[in-house]
Amino acid sequence: MTKRLVPIVVVFPSIILIGTIGYHLIEFWPWSDSFYMSVITVTTVGFSEVHPLSSNGRLFTGALIILGVGAITFSIGLITNYFLAGELQGIIRGKRMQRIIDSLSGHYVVCGYGEMGHQVCRELGRKGCELVVVDVSEEAVSRAREEGYLAFQGDAGLDHVLQQCGLERAKGLVVATDEDATNLLVVLTARVLRSEIPVVARANLEEVTDKLLRAGADRVMFPQSIVGRRMAQMLLNPEICDFLDVVSHDESLELLLENFRVCQGSLLESKSLEESNITELTGASLVGLKRPGRGVISSLKADTVLEQGDIVFALGTRDQVEKLGRLIDSECE
């Protein structure tokens, strides 16, 4: 509204000033009379002239009336557009949305709502995660809102935009715009604002992958590489790909692949798989683990010892996986 009022506040005094100077120079009236004549002319109140007008004065008065009427029409149009064209409602809706975002904690921030950003939001939403979308495109933001996401228009490379997204309270950040330069800037900005937040970024060119990692991204996705390998696997091992798709995406199937961290104080710590009796206690099967400094270990044996910080990958029904999760959580200090 302040931006709308600025032209109105500037235009009227400017016209009145022009009128005052004009009457003073054309009719040689005192400044007070010139100012008064200018005011009643611009506002079209219909009062009689302060003094009789010369022919030049009448021409000047006619031009001043046209300017005044134009200014009034312009002002009414601005105010009407503000209240009736949805802009006021948009501002109110935006402030209401910002209050909701300010109340969020443990949510995810998704920068960029193109095809990849859309798929990221769908998957996070399917998992029941709260998320906030930010994009520079008004069309993309409108599409995100129509699909039920909290979204607003802005440049995610700016500090205040990421802060509006609640980055300091977010659980993770996804950077998925179509521009590598923008992705690099967003990653750098996020790292400055919050160094410990997990960041997953998209690389549109393969040579940008290392730059994003050096900029602070924890993981970088180069879609063409992933899709290319997946397409080759679909040709070579189509049944395995179908099985993995079902396990990963079919909510109706009672078979899940989840991961859990072995924390300090857990009864699983320093125990072998044989000693822990995970399968007997929960029914879930451990299919691999990720160990700090050693990467992923996919070949597990009965004498494989679980260590603090290990991330174990479990396969089982929803009930079995939940039992394993409760078992690990309940055994932590």
Taking residues 22-32, what's their average pLDDT? 91
pLDDT per residue over 227-270, tens digit each? Answer: 888 889 888 888 887 777 766 655 555 567 788 888 777 767 77
Mean of per-residue pLDDT scores for the chain: 83
pLDDT at 205 over 70: yes
pLDDT at 331 over 60: no
Q: What is the pLDDT of residue 103?
A: 87
The residues spanned by each domain of the chain are: 2-84, 104-221, 254-330
Q: What is the pLDDT of residue 329?
A: 66
**Stretch among 35-49, 131-145, 285-299 having the lowest mean pLDDT:** 285-299
Q: 104-221 maps to which CATH number?
A: 3.40.50.720
SS (H, E, C) 46-87: CCCCCCCCCHHHHHHHHHHHHHHHHHHHHHHHHHHHHHHCCH
Is residue 160 within 8 Å of 149, Cβ to Cβ? no
DSSP 8-class letter at 104? -
Burial-class residue 75 by CB neighbours within 10 Å (0-12, 13-18, 19+). Answer: middle
Q: Do the domains 2-84 and 254-330 sit in the same CATH topology, yes or no?
A: no
State the fold for domain 2-84: Helix Hairpins (1.10.287)
Q: 254-330 maps to which CATH number?
A: 3.30.70.1450
Q: Are strands 285-291 and 311-316 parallel, antiparallel or unpaired?
A: antiparallel
Taking residues 184-190, what's their average pLDDT? 95
Burial-class residue 235 by CB neighbours within 10 Å (0-12, 13-18, 19+). Answer: exposed
Is residue 199 within 8 Å of 190, Cβ to Cβ? yes
pTM over 0.85: no
Confidence grade of residue 333 (pLDDT, cut at 50, 70, 90): very low
